[in-house]
């Protein structure tokens, strides 16, 4: 398959504009292909198609939608090396990482397919009638989750596959029964087109309606805003910067009909180093964290940007070892020029703050957009008094906060804004004496880890990727794992309908064999009519 630079509008390729955006190779610092920007007419056509497709697609059974998702996975794998090399070129990420990410993307699609085939995710809840109840008869009421309507997905810079065109947002929105419109990310326009065409192909081959999926090229500030403001659109998925996420969130709240924007905006993911852990394994922990801080050139939402410990010999040992490890990390190409520039300026800004000292940095090398790892140190007092030290520096940089004692450590944790993750590095028997620390770490985060690294977000039923604001706009939902589907549905109750008019999930006979809550009890049994 050859990249054509076009918009994918349902089953059609479209190129009506005379304006272009251009893909870019961050490693060689050179522009590559031209991509047609979506015109207003194309945007309108896309949304009309999505609206019509919704009327059809939402009635498709779980099995039919699962066929579609699995076909997308197959089509993505069929793109083979073309996709891998395009993504490598556009993102600067190594081939092994892209192949791993493709595996994750395909795995996500198949996991949602599995969820659909099993079927219980619709939360079917049934209360049967009690016509003889006093003082008033009880009606028959049945409730299940139904799709909300067309969803706009903003592809993310840092996961050209797994959080982009066919990533978790798209997979969960399609699984829920909604058409999806992807706004291609400027950092991987070619990758986007290849995957979008794979999705369109899968849709055609599995009998999905034209318009169940589209992908448009353009700038966030124009195309992105237009999509979010359009009345056909009912929900938005976004992974990216705080500025970008909040611009969409605020725009959506100003609509005549406000809609939710699920923006995952990253965080500093504090890591709390308790004394016992440092005493027993300062060096091993330093090695483990040097790896996590610099993984993928630090370009993960769950990158540990803040390490908190109590002053003492063991912390010094940890810091020495961490600095040593960091110095040996080879610089690598960052995702795009904007991210690289922000990293340079963000790191420089932290390093010039009062009381901040550089602990260790990797050696600079010749090359384009290289992210060079670094670790800095600051006292608890200086950290607490300086809000600019609480901001995320996206890239392979972490700030260590050296606290005077446990009380200051607690204060530092409590001062943190909402986080995707927090981590407690401790000996198991230390947890008992640190209830307040565990409590504080839980209050600020969506996921709390014990003796692990926050990078490497497992795609599973139990994952929570979304924490208190500002790490995400809505901590009640996750953007990773099967529960991500809950963002794009609403409960619909139907009352007094005859059996033959009920959807399968709510029929007495339970033809889908799913788990349901019937008169308060979970069961897979049929109801005796």
484 belongs to the binding site for a second copy (CB under 8 A) = no
Residues 454 and 442: their CA atoms lie apart, in Å, by 14
CA atoms within 13 A on the CB side of 372: 14
264 labelled catalytic: yes
Within a 10 A sphere around the Cβ of 167, how many other Cβ atoms? Answer: 27
Q: Which is closer to a second copy, CB of 342 or CB of 475? A: 475
Q: Nearest approach, Cβ of 38 to a second copy (angstroms)?
A: 27
Site string for a second copy, 39-78 (x = CB under 8 A): ----------------x-----------------------
The interface region with a second copy, picked from 19-27, 189-197, 288-296, 481-489 by CB under 8 A, is 481-489
For a second copy, which residue of 462, 509, 511, 513 counts as binding (CB under 8 A)? 462
Q: Which of 423, 415, 429 is nearest to 441 (CA)?
A: 423
Could you tell me the two tokens for 202? 């899968």
Considering the complex, state which of residue 20 and residue 450 has its C-beta at the smaller distance from a second copy.
450
Among residues 31 and 231, whose Cβ is nearest to a second copy? Answer: 231
335 near a second copy, judged by CB under 8 A: no
For 188-203, letters b (16+ CB in 10 Å) and e give bbbbbbbbbbbbbbbb
Q: Find the binding residues for a second copy in span 387-426 (CB under 8 A).
A: 418
Binding of a second copy at residue 446 (CB under 8 A)?
Answer: yes
Q: Sort residue 77 into left (φ over 0), alpha (ψ -120 to 50) or beta.
A: alpha
Place of tokens 């794979």: 198
Most distant CA pair in the chain: distance in Å? 83
In DSSP terms, which residues pair with 489 in a beta bridge? 147
Query: Chain-centre distance of CA 527, in angstroms?
Result: 39
- 333 or 478: CB nearest a second copy: 478
Residue 301 falls in the annotated catalytic set: yes
Residue 449 within binding range of a second copy, rule CB under 8 A: yes
Chosen residue from 451, 504, 508, 527 binding a second copy by CB under 8 A: 451
Query: Which DSSP state fits 354?
Result: T
From the CB of 84, what's the least distance to a second copy, in Å?
17
- Which residue number, 303 or 478, has a Cβ lying nearer to a second copy? 478
Catalytic residue among 70, 75, 301, 403: 301
Nearer to a second copy, 265 or 378 (CB): 265
Cβ pair 410, 258 in contact under 8 A? no
* Pattern 141-180, a second copy, x by CB under 8 A: xxx--x-x--------------------------------
DSSP state of 139: P
| Closest CB to a second copy among residues 3, 489 | 489
Quick one: which of 18, 132, 134, 257 contacts a second copy (CB under 8 A)? 257
Shortest separation between residue 494's beta carbon and a second copy, angstroms: 5
DSSP line for 284-296: HHHHHHHHHHHGG
Q: Which of residues 73-102 bind a second copy (CB under 8 A)?
A: 100
The tokens describing 304, both together, are: 């540990």
> What does the alpha-carbon distance between residue 396 and residue 350 come to, in Å, rounded to a whole number?
13
State how far the Cα of 37 lies from the Cα of 130, in Å rounded to an integer: 59
Q: Residue 373 in contact with residue 362, Cβ under 8 Å?
A: yes
| Residue 127 interacting with a second copy (CB under 8 A) | yes
Q: Report, as residue numbers or ranges, the catalytic residues.
A: 264, 301
């Amino acid at each position: 398959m050859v990249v054509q630079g076009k918009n994918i509008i349902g089953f059609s390729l479209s190129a009506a504009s005379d304006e272009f955006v251009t893909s870019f190779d961050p490693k060689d610092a050179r522009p590559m292909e031209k991509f047609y920007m979506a015109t207003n007419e194309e945007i309108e056509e896309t949304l009309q198609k999505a609206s019509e497709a919704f009327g059809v697609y939402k009635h498709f059974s779980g099995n039919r939608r699962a066929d579609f998702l699995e076909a997308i996975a197959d089509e993505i794998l069929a793109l083979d090396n073309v996709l891998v090399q395009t993504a490598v070129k556009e993102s600067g990420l190594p081939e092994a990482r892209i192949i791993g990410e493709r595996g994750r993307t395909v795995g996500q699609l198949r996991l949602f397919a599995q969820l659909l085939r099993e079927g219980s995710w619709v939360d079917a809840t049934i209360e049967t009638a009690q016509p003889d109840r006093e003082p008033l008869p009880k009606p028959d009421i049945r409730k299940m989750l139904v799709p909300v309507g067309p969803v706009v997905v903003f592809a993310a810079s840092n996961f050209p596959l797994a959080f982009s065109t066919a990533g978790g947002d798209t997979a969960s929105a399609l699984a829920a029964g909604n058409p999806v419109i992807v706004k291609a990310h400027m950092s991987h326009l070619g990758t986007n087109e290849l995957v979008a065409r794979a999705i369109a192909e899968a849709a055609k081959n599995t009998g999905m309606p034209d318009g169940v999926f589209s992908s448009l090229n353009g700038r966030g500030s124009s195309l992105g805003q237009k999509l979010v403001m359009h009345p056909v659109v009912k929900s938005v998925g976004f992974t990216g910067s705080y500025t970008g996420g909040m611009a969409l969130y605020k725009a959506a709240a100003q609509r005549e009909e406000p809609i939710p924007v699920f923006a995952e905006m990253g965080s500093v993911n504090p890591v709390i180093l308790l004394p016992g852990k440092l005493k027993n394994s300062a060096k091993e922990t330093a090695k483990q964290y040097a790896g996590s801080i610099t993984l993928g050139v630090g370009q993960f939402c769950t990158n540990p940007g803040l390490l908190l410990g109590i002053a003492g010999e063991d912390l010094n040992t940890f810091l020495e070892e961490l600095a040593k490890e960091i110095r040996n990390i080879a610089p690598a190409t960052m995702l795009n020029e904007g991210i690289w520039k922000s990293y340079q300026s963000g790191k420089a800004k932290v390093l010039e703050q009062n009381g901040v000292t550089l602990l260790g940095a990797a050696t600079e090398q010749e090359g384009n957009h290289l992210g060079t790892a670094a670790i800095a140190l600051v006292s608890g007092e200086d950290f607490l008094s300086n809000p600019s030290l609480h901001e995320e520096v996206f890239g392979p940089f972490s700030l260590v906060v050296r606290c005077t004692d446990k009380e200051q450590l607690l204060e530092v944790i409590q001062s943190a804004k909402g986080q995707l993750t927090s981590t407690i590095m401790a000996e198991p028997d230390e947890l008992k004496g640190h209830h307040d620390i565990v409590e504080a770490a839980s209050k600020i985060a969506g996921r709390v880890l014990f003796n692990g690294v926050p990078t490497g977000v497992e795609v599973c039923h139990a994952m929570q990727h979304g924490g208190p604001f500002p790490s995400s706009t809505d901590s009640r939902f996750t953007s990773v794992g099967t529960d991500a589907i809950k963002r794009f549905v609403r409960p619909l109750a139907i009352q007094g309908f005859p059996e033959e008019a009920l959807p399968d999930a709510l029929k007495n006979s339970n033809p889908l064999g799913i788990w349901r809550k019937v008169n308060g009890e979970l069961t897979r049994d049929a109801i005796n009519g």
